[in-house]
A and B are shown apart, each in its own frame.
Chain A
Amino acid sequence: MSVQTWTYLLVGITFALYIGIAIWSRAGSTKEFYVAGGGVSPLANGMATAADWMSAASFISMAGIIAFAGYDGSVYLMGWTGGYVLLALLLAPYLRKFGKFTVPDFIGERYYSNTARMVAVFCALIVSFTYVAGQMRGVGVVFSRFLQVEIDTGVIIGMVIVLFYAVLGGMKGITYTQVAQYCVLIFAFMVPAIFISFQMTGNPIPQMGMGATFNDGSGVFLLDRLNGLSTELGFAEYTDGSKSMVDVFAITLALMVGTAGLPHVIVRFFTVKRVKDARKSAGLALLLIAILYTTAPAISVFSKINLINTVSKQPYIDMPLWFKNWEETGLLSFDDKNKDGLIQYLADPNQNELTVDNDIMVLANPEIANLPAWVIALVAAGGLAAALSTAAGLLLVISSSVSHDLIKKIFLPNISEKGELWSARIAATVAVVVAGYFGIHPPGFVAAVVALAFGLAAASFFPAIVLGIFYKKMNKEGAIGGMIVGISLMLFYMAKFKLGWLGEIPDKSEWWFGISPEGFGTVAMIVNFIVAIVINKFTPEPPLEVQEIVEHIRIPSGAGNAIEH
C-alpha cells in the first residue's frame, strides 16, 4: 500500500476512535463537563495529562529545533519536564484539596475577590489562546503534507473534530480521548525512533543509541561525528550551544515555571479523587512524558546526521523523492547560488543553499531513513493526536473560564445547572472558531508562539498560586497587583522584542539583562513576586476565614467533601 493510503487508513481509524469515545462519554452535568465528575484514576489522569501536555510543538517541532540548536535545545527538554516537579510538589496536591473547577476559581476564592477572579480569567484566556493557535497550525501542517490538502482546509477539519468531542463530552470526553491519544502519539513517536536507532547503532533503545558508536565497525561515536560535521560546515559544536548561559538559565526557568502555571495542565489534577491520587498522577504523567522527552534528543542526533549525509555536497538531481515532496510544501528549499548543481549546506548565510524548516525533522525522518510506508503514516496520525489533545484541553479552559467564572460566578449567579452547561458548550464553540482563525492567520510560527505562552503563565499565575498556598497572610491587593504587573510586563517585552508591535524589533544587544523574550517570563515572575509581597506589607491582612481555608488545603485528607466551602 502507498503512504497516502496508509495515512488515510490510520488517520481515519484514530479519528473514528476519538469520536466513538466522545459519544460514549458525554457529559451530563457541569461537574462532568468541568472535571470529569472528579473520579478519574491516577493512571488515566497521568496518560491524559501527558497527551494534554505534549502538543504539536513537542511532537512535531521539538526534535527539529534541538537538531538545529544542539545543546541550546536543552532548554526545552529540561524546561518542559522540570516544571512537573514544581507542579507535583508545590501546586497539584493543594489545588486538588481545594477542590474547585478552574484556576480562576482558586484565585477568586483564595483572594476573596471577583476582581482577582476577573484578572485570572483574563490571564487564562490570553495564555490559552496564544497556545491553541499553535496547535491548530500544527494540525494544518500535518494535513497539508500527508493528505495533500491546503493548510487552511486541514485547520478546518481539525476544528470540526475537536468541536465534536470537546463540546459534547467536556472534560469527561476529553479525558478519555486523551488517554487514547497518548497511546497513539507515543507509539507513533517511538516506532521510527527505535527503527532508526537500530539501523544506525545496532542498539534499539534511542536513549542509548544516541551515546553509542556507529554500527559500521568504525568505532566512532555518533555525537563525535556530529560535532565534526557541524564544525566542518561552519556551525558551533553540537554539544556546545551558542546562547549565553544567563539566557539558557532564564529560558529553562521560565519554561519550568510556565509549565507549572498553565491552566490546562493544572485543571487536570482537579479530576482525580484524592490528594494522594493527584501526587501519584503527577509522577505518572512525568514518567509518560519523559519517554518522549528523552527520545526526542536522540531523534535530533540521528536525523541531523542523516540529513547532512544525504544532502551535503550532493547533486540536486540525485535527491530522493521526499526531498521534492517537502519542497512542494515550502518547508524545504534549495537555491543553487553558485550554480554548480550541488547542495551546499553551510553556516554562512551567503553561501548556504539549503533552508530546512524545524518541523521537517520529525515528519520527514522516517522517509529520510527509508522506513516502511506504514511508519510514515503513523507519524501523521501521531502528530494529529498530539495537536488535537492539547487543543481540546485548552478549549476546555477557555470555555470553563467563560461559563463558570464569568457567567456563573460574576454575571448570572442564578443560572441553572443546565443553562451553565449550555453556556459552556457555546463558549467552547466560539473558542474553536477563534482558535481556527488564529490557525489560518497565525501570529507567528508554532514553537515561538507556544514558548511565549509559558512566559505569560509564569508571569501571571505561578506566583499568585504559590503565595496563596505557602503564604497564609497573602492578601488580595498583593496578588492582584502582582498578576497585573507581571503579565503586563511580559506582554510589553513580547510586543517590543519579539512581535515588533512597538516599532522596529531592537537588536539582541538591547535585551534587558541579556535575556531573550522566551526567557523573560523568569524576570516577569520575579517582579510579580516582589510587587505582590511589597503591596501585601502595606495593605490589610486577609480575613480570618480565608486564612482558615489555607490551613485547610494544607491537610491532605477529606478532599472529596471539599467542593463547597
Chain B
Amino acid sequence: MEDKQKKATAYWKENVRYLFILLFIWFVVSFGAGILFKDYLNTFKLGGFKLGFWFAQQGAIYVFVVLIFVYVYLMNKLDKKYGYNE
C-alpha cells in the first residue's frame, strides 16, 4: 500500500512538471509573441507577414496543436513507465 502511494505521488509530480513546461510554451507563443512582444517582433518579416502578427493569427495555433500531441506522447510514455497504461 505504501509503495503504491509512493508510485502515485511520483507519477503525479512528473505529470505536473510536464504541465508547467508545456503551459510555459503555450504562454510564450500566444501572450508573449502574439501580444506582449508583437510590436518588437513586427520589425521582422516572415514572407509577407510581420512576425508578431503571424504569431497572433497563425503561429500560435500551430504550436498549440503540436503541444497537445507532445503531451499525448509524453503521458503515454509516463503511463508505461509507471504501469498505468492500458
By a beta-carbon cutoff of 8 Å, the part of chain A in contact with chain B is 66, 71, 73-74, 77-78, 81-82, 84-86, 88-90, 93, 207-208, 210-213, 221-224, 239, 245, 248-249, 252-253, 274, 276, 279-280, 282-283, 286-287, 290, 293-294, 297, 470, 551, 554-558
Contact = CB atoms under 8 A, between A and B. Distances in A.
Interface residues of B, number: 42
B8 A280 contact: no
Nearest to B79: A556
24 contacts: A71-B38, A71-B56, A73-B57, A78-B61, A82-B26, A82-B60, A85-B67, A88-B71, A222-B48, A239-B50, A239-B53, A245-B35, A253-B31, A276-B79, A283-B69, A283-B71, A283-B72, A286-B68, A297-B58, A551-B8, A554-B8, A555-B8, A557-B84, A557-B85
A252 B48 contact: no
B58 A294 contact: yes
Interface string B26-68: 1000110011101000100011111001101110111011011
Given A77-B61, A85-B22, A212-B47, A280 B72 contact: yes
Given A71-B56, A82-B26, A210-B49, 12 more contacts: A77-B60, A78-B56, A81-B61, A85-B64, A85-B68, A210-B58, A253-B31, A276-B85, A294-B57, A556-B75, A556-B79, A557-B86
Contacts of A77: 56-57, 60-61
Contacts of B57: 66, 71, 73-74, 77, 294, 297
A252 B30 contact: yes
Nearest to B23: A89
Interface string B1-35: 00000001001100110010011001000110011
A293 B68 CA distance: 16
Contacts of A283: 65, 68-69, 71-72
Interface of B: 8, 11-12, 15-16, 19, 22-23, 26, 30-31, 34-36, 38, 42, 46-50, 53-54, 56-58, 60-62, 64-65, 67-69, 71-72, 75-76, 79, 84-86
B64 A82 contact: yes
A223 B48 contact: yes
B74 to A, nearest CB: 10
A211 B22 contact: no
Contacts of B22: 85, 89
Contacts of A222: 48
B12 A74 contact: no
